[in-house]
Amino acid sequence: MSVGIVKGFPSTSGDDYQLNIITFLKCAANTYPEVEVISRNIDGSIFRYNYYEAFQRVKKLANALVKLGVKPGDRVGIAEWNTHRFFELYFAISGIGAVALELNPRIAGIDRAYVINHAEAKFIFVAETLLPIIEPIADDLNTVQSYVVITDKKSRDLKTDLAPVKSYEDILEQEPDSYDFPMIDETSAFAACYTSGTTGKPKGVFVSHRAMYLHTIMISGMSKMGLDDVVMQTVPMFHAQGWGVFLCAPLVGAKLVFSGMYTAETTHVLVDLMVSEKVTVNNGAPAIYMPMLEQIRSMPEKPVFPNLRMFSGATEPPLAMMKGYDELGGNIIHAYGATETTPLVTVNLLKAQMADLSEDEKWELRKKQGLPVTGIEMKVVDAEGKDIPHDGETVGELLIKGPWITTTYYNDSRSADSFTDGYWKSGDAATIDKNGYIKISDRFKDLVKSGGEWISSIDLENSIMAHKCVLEATVAGLPHPKWEERPLALVKLKEKYIGKVTKQDILNFISPNFAKWQLPMRLFL
């Protein structure tokens, strides 16, 4: 049970000096003014400027926002790719006390309209290439007063049904590059991200300046970012603040690279940027890292990435992928989080006392989500809410709380079922071992329950993908009249192995790692 807050002896610290995100860019512009910020344009060309020039544009943008009518507390929607303009919008919007509302172009239009209406956004900034995701829902947006199209074009040259509408560069051009940013109460919302809506309507998470400030410092420290680093923002910036990685670069004075627009089929553009800009810090999901690795393997001359740290989240990184990057000098750092957690919660680092493990044991350990970062409280509990044994086998639900963990959803009755005693109930099925390492077995809703026992679809998928001939695999539960559910595996082979590998070859490969009853009942190639 919580003991509450105890008030001790008054300090002499400047505790009234608020933790504001604009501080990162303001300090970078003063201390590291010449450090480059680059952004890949839609046509593949590269835009370059530096922290000083970026801050000048952010001040112009702040003036433009005020002229548009944006006030402290207003929500301002952003539909944009990973670009320097998204970077500018995050700082300018939050810098004047408004909230950057992240709009996910990948969700259904009806859900996007719900997010905008639920957040009561008054203004929308939308990339010209993303107009098709906003125009069809414009008539359903109840609170939006005006739009700005993110483009190089003049306002008079825009072709859109949105109204009233202006061009991004037009509104900047008209403003001075001086702006006195106010001190914002650090508990005010910096940005808002909505969950993807997989279980009902999307849920709103409003992240405070304080939470984001502390989170940024923690990521920078855990990854040992510094002046010599080149940070590439790969995770979409409309998703959980892009995991906050792009904010770390101005904090530590590192060069910053924005990847622009890309897809899982065009990850070669990410590889090209990593090579040309000598990237040392990156973030992404295995769904992006895997095709990137295949692209690298197809290159006649393989690049080497000294001191490359690659934060990997969303799903457990396949062992074959981690080893593949290791051969190139890249270190996959498995991390875990969610929209509700800003998102960093755990990082997989090898404790010093575990250095004597065999290489195979170390690789197996690296597959786990890792250790809670400082400041985060976590526990794994059973159905009655009691802590489970730290044996690495017993499965329970992961509960999380801390200074950057949300404690309620915005204006949403589902909060009552999602939080308990200050903890967010993750819905993730997890184990914790004797050394404190967390492993996510699955989402409880995705676990396969067979004969009363749990089977992890993640473990099956990653074991299948460890086969050298396999490109991708997914596992789901099929209803079964006797066993309740049995696993079904869908496997995609690498092109050169199609027709050369059988289902039994795959089953034989994974069978040493599973009991017979855990193996897929059906497997389709």
Phi then psi for residue 346, to 5 deg, are: -130, 155
Residue 454: how many other CB atoms lie within 10 Å? 14
Structure tokens at 311: 């934060």
158 within 8 A of 149, measured Cβ to Cβ: yes
Q: Can you tell me whether residue 359 is helix, strand or coil? A: helix
Are 405 and 376 in contact by the 8 Å Cβ rule? The answer is yes
Per DSSP, what are the bridge partners of residue 477? Answer: 487
Phi, psi of 147 (to 5 degrees): -130, 150
Any catalytic annotation for residue 195?
yes
Query: Tokens 């990997």 label which residue?
Result: 312
Catalytic residue flag (residue 424): no
Mark whether 454 is an active-site residue.
yes
CB 404 within 8 A of CB 244: no
340 counts as catalytic: yes
For residue 254, the SS3 value is coil
Identify which of 196, 243, 248 has the alpha carbon closest to the alpha carbon of residue 227: 248
Residue 463 parent element (H or E): helix 457-465
Given the residues 128, 408, 454, 474, the one annotated as active site: 454
Active-site option among 175, 340, 397, 461: 340
- Tell me how far apart the alpha carbons of residues 306 and 101 are, in angstroms, rounded to a whole number: 36
State the catalytic residue, choosing from 195, 216, 339, 431.
Answer: 195
Question: Are 489 and 464 within 8 A, CB to CB?
Answer: yes
Can you tell me which residue has the tokens 């959980």?
Answer: 240
Q: Which of 448, 444, 437 is nearest to 479 (CA)?
A: 448
Q: How far lies 267's CA from each of 102, 333, 440, 496, in Å? A: 23, 20, 27, 20
Residues 483, 511 contacting (CB under 8 angstroms) = no
Give the CA angle between residues 149, 152, 155 to the nearest 5°: 55
Catalytic residue among 201, 278, 449, 492: 449
Token pair listed for 115: 């997010």
Q: Which residues are known to be catalytic?
A: 195, 340, 449, 454
